[in-house]
């Protein structure tokens, strides 16, 4: 506990003062990046976390920081995983911690310890010795501080998207993980989606030939929720659109493509260039639907409606990653992967998968085929094993629970995590790097190698088999 950081004054922006302060003209730290900076040297005693297994745990004890929409929605999933128990819950608003504890008790779970009421309540929770894993689901600007504090308290961390919003913070999380010998994992549930995992298995089986490009995104009409007075506490998510022009949340589309391309496992992302449309959607929505006495009328929106990142890799591949939450459109993560022998497009095909494929020699006269038969053949073992449980316990089609189940069982079995701190940092780097590119007129900026050269090593990722995990329940 000697390295526990002091509570940042930035934490105060997560409380009730945020809306008024920002409306008065204050700005939170926008994502920044310096693409020319070399990788910082490792300190003495600091070593890579690649291939480092968890210590085996008979039962994984989870502490939760942040009990708003996401945290409250995930807490029962953690408790439902075999071999997992929630021992402590924390939120700056103490009533949320109590409601979360009450909910667990109503489902027959032991009552967790409750923390809340102040910005530093989480630090008190982290002093407990009955927490093995900390799940962080606070607003974006607090993820770095909370994730880092968890590592420094000797606990592993699963952090919601993004793990940090600044390049120096991403590097610090990598270094802190290496120094403390504790894992930090981005809670990227979309990597555990059924279509995404089947796509990954197909890619690794060679069905697409040599992979050349991918296209992913987070395209979600959030306008009504962004202007809601209750959904995002103190309007924290809308206020990001007043602070910076950047791709705030590209990971849902980027990460599954990166996994299928073996990024950090034989290839790496090298450069990023970004474009942004004009900011029109939020102001237009406000004009038509938001009363004139609403606090949002004091705000000026500067982030583009559509931010597009073009990413190049060491092996000559490209990834297009989009972020669009201010426009009227159906939900899509795009999830497209293409190579020398075929392509898969998600969100473009018939039910039940919603995806379509075009593969040699199966295309049958230049026509798309339903993804369903391929998904059945290449269905990942995780879905075959816990798919029914996922439907009962998890949101987002079950992939939340699959992530939770897999993480807990890896810790129980003492195995290496599927997603490590290097993956997490690389997938979140477009947040600050898109801002840097746009500030330079869209010119390419370098993407750091968070592995410090270890990306060349072929190693397992999400393409596990059942034999990788002992039967621990």
Strands 318-324 and 211-219, how do they pair? parallel
- Which is nearest to 197 in space by CA: 43, 414, 371? 371
72 shares its domain with 206: no
More confident residue, 318 or 13: 318
Examine the fold and report which residue of 145, 164, 187 is the final residue of a domain before the chain moves on.
187
**Same domain assignment for residues 331 and 440:** yes
Query: pLDDT tens, 212-237?
Result: 999 999 999 999 999 999 999 999 99
- Residue that is last in its domain, among 187, 209, 233: 187
> What are the φ/ψ torsions at residue 416 (nearest 5 degrees)?
-80, 140
The pLDDT-based confidence of 21 (bands split at 50, 70, 90) is very low
Whether 196 and 156 share a structural domain: no
Give the model confidence (pLDDT) of 237-292 as tens digits: 999 999 999 999 999 999 999 999 999 999 999 999 999 999 999 999 999 999 99
pLDDT value of position 334: 98
Name the pairing type of β-strands 318-324 and 356-359: unpaired
Q: Are residues 261 and 181 in the same domain?
A: no
Strand order across the 113-116 sheet: 113-116, 84-91, 60-65, 133-136, 156-159, 184-186
> Is the confidence at residue 12, as pLDDT, over 60?
no
Q: Are residues 236 and 345 in the same domain?
A: yes
CA atoms within 13 A on the CB side of 407: 33
CATH number, residue 275: 3.30.360.10
For residue 178, the enclosing domain spans: 55-187
Q: Which of 139, 156, 187 is the last residue of a domain?
A: 187
The answer to whether the CB of 429 falls within 8 A of the CB of 271 is no
Query: In this structure, are 137 and 274 located in the same domain?
Result: no
The 10s digit of each residue's pLDDT in 277-287 is 999 999 999 99
Same domain, residue pair 308 and 432: yes
Across the range 409-421, mean pLDDT stands at: 97
Distance from C-alpha of 277 to C-alpha of 304, rounded to nearest angstrom: 5
Q: Are residues 183 and 227 in the same domain?
A: no
Across all residues in the chain, what is the average pLDDT? 92
Give 57's contacts (C-beta < 8 A, 6+ positions apart): 83, 132, 411, 412, 414
* The predicted structure's pLDDT at residue 366: 86
For the stretch 382-394, pLDDT in tens is 999 998 887 777 7
Q: What is the tens place of the pLDDT at every residue in 35-86?
A: 546 788 999 989 999 999 999 999 999 999 999 999 999 999 999 999 999 9
Q: How many helices (H) and strands (E) does the chain have?
A: 16, 15
42 located within any domain: no
Shared domain for 234 and 126, answered yes or no, is no
% helix, strand, coil for the chain, step of 5: 40, 15, 45
Provide the token pair at 220.
């979600």
CATH number of the domain encompassing residue 65: 3.40.50.720
Domain count, the chain: 2
Domain-located, residue 12 = no
Query: Tokens representing 162?
Result: 């993004």
Residue 398, pLDDT > 50, answer yes
Mean pLDDT of all residues in 345-355: 95
Q: What is the rounded average pLDDT of the residues 439-455? A: 98
For residue 3, whether the previous peptide bond is cis, meaning omega lies within 30 degrees of 0, is no
pLDDT value at 8 more than 90: no
Percent of the chain with pLDDT over 90: 85
Parallel/antiparallel/unpaired status of strands 342-345 and 84-91: unpaired
* Residue 7, strand partner residues: none
Contacts (Cβ under 8 Å, ≥6 apart) of 69 = 231, 232
Per-residue confidence (pLDDT) for residue 402, from 0 to 100: 96
Residues 444, 375 within the same domain = yes
Please state at what angle helix 69-80 crosses helix 399-413, rounded to 10 degrees: 50
Cβ atoms of 102 and 96 within 8 Å: the answer is no
Q: Is residue 237 domain-resident?
A: yes
What's the pLDDT at 472? Answer: 67
Query: What is the DSSP-derived secondary structure letter of residue 293?
Result: T
Provide the pLDDT confidence category of residue 187 given band limits of 50, 70 and 90.
very high
The reply to whether 115 and 257 lie within a common domain is no
Asked whether residue 87 is assigned to any structural domain, the reply reads yes
Residue 432 lies in a domain: yes
**Is the pLDDT score of 362 beyond 90?**
no
Q: If you average pLDDT over residues 177-197, what whole number do you get? A: 98
The per-residue pLDDT for 20 is 33
Percent of the chain with pLDDT strictly greater than 70: 92
């Amino acid at each position: 506990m000697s390295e526990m950081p002091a509570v940042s004054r930035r934490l105060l922006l997560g409380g009730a003062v945020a809306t008024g302060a920002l409306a008065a003209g204050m700005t939170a730290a926008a994502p920044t990046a310096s693409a020319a900076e070399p990788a910082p040297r490792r300190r003495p005693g600091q070593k890579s976390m690649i291939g480092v297994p968890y210590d085996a745990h008979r039962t994984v004890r989870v502490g939760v920081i942040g009990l708003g929409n996401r945290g409250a929605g995930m807490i029962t999933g953690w408790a439902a995983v075999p071999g997992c128990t929630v021992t402590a819950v924390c939120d700056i608003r103490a009533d949320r911690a109590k409601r979360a504890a009450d909910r667990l008790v109503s489902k027959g779970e032991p009552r967790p310890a409750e923390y809340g009421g102040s910005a530093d309540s989480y630090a008190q929770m982290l002093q407990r010795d009955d927490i093995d894993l900390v799940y962080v689901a606070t607003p974006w600007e607090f993820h770095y501080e909370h994730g880092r504090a968890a590592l420094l308290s000797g606990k592993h961390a699963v952090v919601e998207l993004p793990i940090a919003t600044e390049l120096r913070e991403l590097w610090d999380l990598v270094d802190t993980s290496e120094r403390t010998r504790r894992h930090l994992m981005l809670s990227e549930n979309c990597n555990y989606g059924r279509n995404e995992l089947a796509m990954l298995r197909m890619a690794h089986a060679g069905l697409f030939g040599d992979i050349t490009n991918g296209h992913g995104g987070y395209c979600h009409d959030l306008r009504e929720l962004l202007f809601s007075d209750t959904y995002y506490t103190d309007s924290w998510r809308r206020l990001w659109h007043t602070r910076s022009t950047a791709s705030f949340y590209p990971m849902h589309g980027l990460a599954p493509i990166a996994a299928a391309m073996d990024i950090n496992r034989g290839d790496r992302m090298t450069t990023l260039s970004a474009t942004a449309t004009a900011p029109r959607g939020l102001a237009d929505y406000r004009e038509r639907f938001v009363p004139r006495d609403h606090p949002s009328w004091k705000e000026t929106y500067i982030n583009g409606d559509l931010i597009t990142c073009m990413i190049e890799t060491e092996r000559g591949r490209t990834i297009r990653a989009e972020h669009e939450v201010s426009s009227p459109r159906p939900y899509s993560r795009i999830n497209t992967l293409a190579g020398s022998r075929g392509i898969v497009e998600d969100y473009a095909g018939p039910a039940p998968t919603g995806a379509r494929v075009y593969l040699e020699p199966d295309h049958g006269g230049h026509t798309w085929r339903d993804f369903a038969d391929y998904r059945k053949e290449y269905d990942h073992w995780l879905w075959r094993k816990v798919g029914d449980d996922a439907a009962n316990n998890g949101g987002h089609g079950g992939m939340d629970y699959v992530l939770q189940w897999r993480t807990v069982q890896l810790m129980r079995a003492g195995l290496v995590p599927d997603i490590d701190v290097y993956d997490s940092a690389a997938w979140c780097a477009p947040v600050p790097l898109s801002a840097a590119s746009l500030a330079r007129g869209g010119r390419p900026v370098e993407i750091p190698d968070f592995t410090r050269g270890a990306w060349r090593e072929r190693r397992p990722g999400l393409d596990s088999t059942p034999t990788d995990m002992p039967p621990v329940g």
